[in-house]
């Protein structure tokens, strides 16, 4: 809608102890990389008036069961080549490369 390349990524057929544990997040492109973004956590944290967790995640921080059960079209070699997911969070990438960015606290305080 606002011109940011974004994919809705989700798990399928993920059950733990008989409970559906499917989850969804986004891959968004910022600069040269895609980043794992979980806006659900951002919304819940913001509306609880506390910053519990950031909503940019390192790909490796997604728990194994989510990575293993992600919808198959997000695991193909073609997709992975065209959507280079950064192994760092956006904030760490910017900090390492001296690129201006908003901190998690600043992002949470943006108007809705």
**Per-residue pLDDT reduced to its tens digit, 34-84:** 888 877 655 555 555 454 455 666 666 677 777 788 888 888 999 989 998
Q: What is the pLDDT of residue 97?
A: 92
Q: What are the Cα distances from residue 50, in Å, to 6, 23, 36, 103?
A: 26, 22, 21, 15
Overall number of domains in the chain: 1
- Closest by CA position to 92, among listed 58, 52, 55: 58
| Residue 23 covered by a domain | yes
Q: Give mean pLDDT, residues 9-34.
A: 84
Q: What is the pLDDT of residue 5?
A: 92
Identify the domain containing residue 54 by its residue range.
6-108
| Residue 88 covered by a domain | yes
| Residue 1 covered by a domain | no
- Distance, in Å, from the CA atom of 74 to the CA atom of 11, rounded to the nearest integer, reads 10
Helical spans, DSSP H, in 1-112 = 39-47, 64-68, 77-82, 90-97, 104-108
Q: What is the pTM of this model?
A: 0.69
What is the separation, in whole angstroms, between the first and last Cα of the chain? Answer: 15
| Residue 53 covered by a domain | yes
Contacts of 72 (CB under 8 A, 6+ apart): 12
| Residue 52 covered by a domain | yes
Is residue 8 classed as helix, strand or coil in its secondary structure?
Answer: strand
Q: What is the pLDDT of residue 86?
A: 85
């Amino acid at each position: 809608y606002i011109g940011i390349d974004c994919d809705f990524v989700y798990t399928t057929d993920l059950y733990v102890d008989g409970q559906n544990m499917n989850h969804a997040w986004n891959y968004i492109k910022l600069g040269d990389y895609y980043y794992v973004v979980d806006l659900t956590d951002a919304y819940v944290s913001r509306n609880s008036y506390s910053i519990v967790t950031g909503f940019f995640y390192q790909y490796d921080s997604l728990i194994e069961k989510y990575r293993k059960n992600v919808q198959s079209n997000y695991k193909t070699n073609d997709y992975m080549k065209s959507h280079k997911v950064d192994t760092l969070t956006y904030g760490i990438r910017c900090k390492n490369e001296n690129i201006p960015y908003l901190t998690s606290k600043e992002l949470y305080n943006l108007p809705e």
